Chains A and B, each alone.
Chain A
Amino acid sequence: MSLNDLFAKELKVVNMGLESFYDDLKKQDVSAIHVQWKPSAGGDKKMSSLLGRLKGLK
């Protein structure tokens, strides 16, 4: 794939972050979607014992 492939296509944009960028794209009738992104809030990385036993799919 080369960059020039992009030049031949219709731009379809995913916007993540400032919603105003998405609004601007919609105003120009550009195919776009806005991601309502949120940062992760810390996490639980413990494996559940049950699902660990159930997995059987190694």
Chain B
Amino acid sequence: MISGRQYGSLMLAADLRQFLLKRPQLELQVHSAFETSVNLMADEELITLAASSRELMPMGLIADTADLEHWQLKAGDIVIYSQNRLQLPRDITIWLEKAEIREVSLPEAFKNKSGIDKVSLETVRRKLLESEGGGIADLAALLPETNRIDRPLNIYAEYIKENLLAFLDALRNRDYVTAVSQAECLLGFGPGLTPSADDFLTGIILFLYYRDPKSDFFQEIVSLAHRRTTVLSYHMIKNAAAGKAYASYLALIRILAGEDQGSLETLADKVLCYGASSGSDFLFGVYCAGLVLEERENARAGNKINAGVNRIHN
């Protein structure tokens, strides 16, 4: 007997599918509810139910409905998962059967050793300078050769500037100990539901994950995040440390890494619209990671040339 309100699902994240396969019966609790998404907690994991307009996220399920507000979910509500469906209060059922399973991470690390795509990096820089996120991406204004009127930093960017630069310095020098201690001075900082600096670190970690993973370093930051920032940010950073993110974030870093050609402009525009400043802060993180990686490449190339020269002289 079918009763109540029934909804289908459009997409299911592969990691969530794995998670649910191991748990035939699961009780979840609503953590937070928004217009187009609802976060649920179960077994220390954060699961996101989202409306059809949203992009699929790690541990996410896109339901076949335009907005979730009419479900009237609130923090504390219990949701039961069993037999391939989610049972919500007030007789609402979400069927997972027909959902398309989608990966939320890339199949492998970046292979392309020819390096960071400079042109794409330049495009990202330009997009950052054109956008006005309001978070710490305003630090992009410190980049030289702007072809626009200099924009002063907002108070958040101003406040965090030194720590952020020290963090990037440490990364450049592969000094991960210092990088971690500087990250401690970034985590949880800034405006937004996911504080700006967390979005920035997500960008850094995600790009490094595929280009030059340092799992100890990532895990340290994840542990720090657990204590120093919001639950939602913690999960976001944790996902990045496992190479998991929105498909558009992943597509973006693939282009920057020279692994793909694609419309960077369109992607960047899309990403920049996320949240109030989340998108631009994330993009700033990706950009800085790109700079660090590119600098390292240049240094290596320099060393090779020097070594070659020395051999000749010998």
Partner-B contacts on A (CB < 8 A): 40-48, 50-58
Contacts and interface: CB of A to CB of B under 8 A. Distances in A.
A57 B142 contact: no
Q: Which of B142, B151, B294 has the most CB of A within 10 A?
A: B142
B153 interface: yes
A47 B43 CA distance: 47
Given A47-B144, A48-B142, A50-B169, A42 B292 contact: no
Interface of B: 118, 121-122, 125, 142-145, 150-153, 158, 161, 165, 168-169, 172, 291-292, 294-295, 298
Given A45-B150, A47-B142, A47-B144, 19 more contacts: A40-B151, A42-B152, A43-B151, A43-B152, A44-B142, A44-B153, A48-B161, A50-B168, A50-B169, A51-B144, A52-B144, A54-B291, A54-B295, A55-B144, A56-B294, A56-B295, A57-B121, A57-B125, A58-B145
B172 A44 contact: no
Contacts of A44: 142, 152-153, 158, 161
12 contacts: A41-B152, A43-B151, A44-B142, A46-B142, A48-B165, A50-B165, A51-B168, A51-B291, A54-B168, A54-B292, A57-B121, A57-B125
A42 B118 CA distance: 32
Contacts of A55: 143-144, 291
Nearest to A39: B152
A14 B20 CA distance: 47
Contacts of A51: 142-144, 165, 168, 291
Contact of B298 (A42, A48, A56, A58): A56
A1 B68 CA distance: 45
A57 B120 CA distance: 11
A55 B172 CA distance: 12
A30 B14 CA distance: 44
Nearest to B144: A47
A48 B298 CA distance: 20
A54 B152 CA distance: 21
Q: Which of B150, B152, B172 has the most CB of A within 10 A?
A: B152
Q: Which of B121, B292, B295 has the most CB of A within 10 A?
A: B295
B288 to A, nearest CB: 8
Contacts of B152: 40-44
B114 to A, nearest CB: 16
Contact of B118 (A41, A43, A47, A57): A57
Contact of B122 (A50, A53, A57): A57
A53 B298 CA distance: 11
A43 B121 CA distance: 25
A33 B118 CA distance: 35
Contacts of B118: 57
A50 B168 CA distance: 8
A51 B291 CA distance: 8
Nearest to B295: A54
A27 to B, nearest CB: 25
A45 to B, nearest CB: 5
A50 B292 CA distance: 10
Contacts of B168: 50-51, 54
